[in-house]
Amino acid sequence: METLRLFGDAPRLAHVAVALAVILLIALAGRALARTLRQPEVIGEIVVGLLSGPAVIALFGRDTLDALLPGPVFDVVKLVSQAGLVLFLVGLAHKLGADSGGPPRRGTLWVAAGALAPPLVTGLLLAGLVLVTDDSAARGGAPLPAFVLMVAVSMSITAVPVMARILADRGMTRSAAGQTALAAAIVIDAIGWLLLTLAISLGKGSLESSLHSVRALAFGAVCALAVRYGLRTQAARNACVRMPRTAAVVLGAAALTVALAMEHLGMTAILGAALVGLSIPGGENAPWERAVTSVSRAGGVLAPAFFVVTGITVLTGSFSDTSWLLIASAVVLGCVGKGLGGYLGARRSGRPPRTARRIAVLMNTRGLTELIVLQAGLSSGILTGPVVLALIVMALTTTAMTGPLLNLLDRGERRLGTGAFAVATESSVR
């Protein structure tokens, strides 16, 4: 109620506007820093956004942060961040659904299996480490099957948007390594969302709660089908062609409505957004592509608020509770699972060693998609702050390693005269 009253309070509303403007400026600084370091811009946004709140506390104290973002203002910023996440997910889920419409090639399946199964195992090992060390702060109170599965899923995710950006920046979009890695990442994330849904359902902890989750998922599925059939009508297609901006607003409103309804029913809003995104008709001549792009871009503009809110709510309270052993183990296991698994899968599919090495490096890219999964686990009460912090460090480290490792492979192959530039421009996929 206090948050709703804030919208009628002009001074506090201005405070919210200033806070959001500052967050967007922080995001711009993060992107500029990432470009300077030759990293994907989203990595700069994430790192600077996550660290902004803890940095203010470390330098000026908690009271200063509370003055800059008092409770009602922070609640509105948090609401805006959730809305941005939902809108961004519409585009991400739609891309996953559209790109995975046809049957994947056998080589892609081998790479996907290699970059999915070993990371799931390393996730089990990380969850086992939490149990063996009796780390109560990291373990939390979620049912054991839900906790173990959620950690495993978090270790297995590969970020499709960040990988696509890295491939485009490096001119590898049409290379054998780039095409195979991107296709495998789409398969992995599609399976990951199914496992994420299962983990959240298991997190309810009782038969009655699980049935409630099934009802919530059924409600979301019905809404998604309604959206799909509604958008496939000729009237909707014509309206989208004539009024693309209005279509984008309607599509965004539908996604927010379904997401909030799913959250009210006990599931995470992220699943509602994903269902809506998957339900949007795709295809080369589909009129909704422009509207989906507009919705996703709007979410991308608001996404920096999500990073700042996550940094304040998770990092500020988890630094002292998170062991260095947990962080180091997450990073090492994350690299081993994706790197070794991706390489073995690529070799099993018949790729030469030099291409397999690039695929292995690319499959270790996580980025924003990892944060979305972690947010789902945190909001559902399955993951704790310390585990989320360790996995955030793992995600940022492995993603930041992608570019330098690819550069290292290029330099090594140039020295050996193996034609690294030919590999980078290779356009056929076996």
DSSP 23-40: HHHHHHHHHHHHHHTT--
Instruction: With a cut of 80, say whether residue 98 has pLDDT above it.
Output: no
Q: Which long-range contacts (CB under 8 A, 24 or more apart) does 56-60 make?
A: 57/316
Mean of pLDDT values over 83-90: 88
Residue 148, pLDDT score: 95
| Residue 21 confidence class, pLDDT cut points 50, 70, 90 | very high
Predicted confidence (pLDDT) per residue in 369-402, tens digit: 888 899 889 988 899 989 999 999 999 999 889 9
CB 55 within 8 A of CB 312: no
* Percent of the chain residues past pLDDT 70, beyond the cut: 89
Q: 12: closest CA among 58, 65, 69?
A: 69
Residue keyed to tokens 């519409």? 90
Distance, in Å, from the CA atom of 194 to the CA atom of 183, rounded to the nearest integer, reads: 17
Q: 83: closest CA among 305, 313, 262?
A: 305
Distance of CA 356 to the CA centre of its chain: 25
Mean of pLDDT values over 219-231: 89
Read off the tokens for 201.
Answer: 């359902």
Question: How far lies 289's CA from each of 209, 240, 244, 371, in Å?
Answer: 37, 10, 10, 25
The residues, any chain, with a CB within 8 Å of residue 216's CB and separated by 6 or more, are 262, 265, 266, 267
CB 199 within 8 A of CB 377: yes
Read off the tokens for 258.
Answer: 């379904």
Distance, in Å, from the CA atom of 222 to the CA atom of 217, rounded to the nearest integer, reads: 9
CATH 1.10.3470.10 fits 2-424, yes or no: no
3-state secondary structure 358-393: HHHHHHCCCCHHHHHHHHHHHHCCCCCHHHHHHHHH
Instruction: With a cut of 80, say whether residue 229 has pLDDT above it.
Output: yes
Predicted confidence (pLDDT) per residue in 319-334, tens digit: 677 889 999 999 999 9
* Percent of the chain residues past pLDDT 90, beyond the cut: 30
Q: 97: closest CA among 286, 375, 294?
A: 286
CB 136 within 8 A of CB 372: no
Domain parsing of the chain, residue ranges: 2-424
CB 115 within 8 A of CB 338: yes
Question: How far lies 392's CA from each of 96, 245, 330, 371, 375, in Å?
Answer: 23, 35, 9, 7, 10
CB 200 within 8 A of CB 213: yes
Give, rounded to a whole angstrom, the gap between the first and last alpha carbons of the chain. Answer: 59
| Residue 411 confidence class, pLDDT cut points 50, 70, 90 | confident
Residue 170, pLDDT score: 81
Residue 207, pLDDT score: 61
Give the 3-state secondary structure of residue 135. coil
Residue 426, pLDDT score: 47
Mean of pLDDT values over 137-159: 92
Least confident of 35-39, 206-210, 288-292, 309-313: 206-210
Residue 425, pLDDT score: 47
Instruction: With a cut of 70, say whether residue 69 has pLDDT above it.
Output: yes
Is the whole model's pTM more than 0.75, yes or no?
yes
Q: What is the DSSP letter of 312?
A: I
- Per-residue burial over 383-405, b if 16 or more Cβ lie within 10 Å, else e, is bbbbbbbbbbbbbbbbbbbbbeb
Distance, in Å, from the CA atom of 237 to the CA atom of 288, rounded to the nearest integer, reads: 8
Question: How far lies 99's CA from each of 95, 117, 182, 297, 368, in Å?
Answer: 6, 22, 10, 19, 19
| Region at 426 (left for phi over 0; alpha for psi -120 to 50; beta for the rest) | beta
